[in-house]
Structure 1
Amino acid sequence: MTAEARGTVVVNNPSGLHARPANELARVAKSLSSSSRLAIGDREVNAASVLAIMTLGVTPGTAVDVICEGDMAEEDLDTLLAAIRGGLGEPNVPNGVNS
């Protein structure tokens, strides 16, 4: 049976998940052994696809569910959550509020 791990993170990038941070997130997701997805409500996309990530229209302050499936699901989930919390190469805005 394949393990599944889920977590939720608030995106605090000043412009949400536009092209640059989406590219970094997809790069991280591709480096993991688990398959990973992002979800907002009932919309779920492949976390390894820049275009798929961008279709979610993630803006600052948006809560995103992260789902990993595989033998290293927990560890890979932690890696993705840390990357998003870390800003994906961009500065974070406290509490997701763009000032």
Structure 2
Amino acid sequence: MDEMIGLKEKQGMLLSYLDDYMLTGGFPEVVVKGVDQQGYLKTLFDGILFKDIVKRYKVRQPQRLYDIGLYLLANHSNEFSLTRLKNIL
């Protein structure tokens, strides 16, 4: 019976850790250094988009790519089609 109580306590602790992970995205900088989560994620998104993708592939309309990226992030759990993306732009 004591083992069951211990498991319940551990389960609660693990669920708490999972909640923290889901909120912080698992990025060590956010957890360890206490960095602003939204600002950090925006910096990562902008860096990947503009420094990696736009620069590497010489994207001619970076603002459109940025808009597509924001749309996909905001609607990550929804189905979408290329036609819908085209209409959004």
TM class, shorter-length: under 0.3
Whose strand fraction is larger, Structure 1's or Structure 2's? 1
TM-score by length of 1: 0.24
Whose helix fraction is larger, Structure 1's or Structure 2's? 2
Report 1 or 2 for greater relative contact order, CA contacts < 8 Å, sequence distance ≥ 6: 1
TM-score by length of 2: 0.26
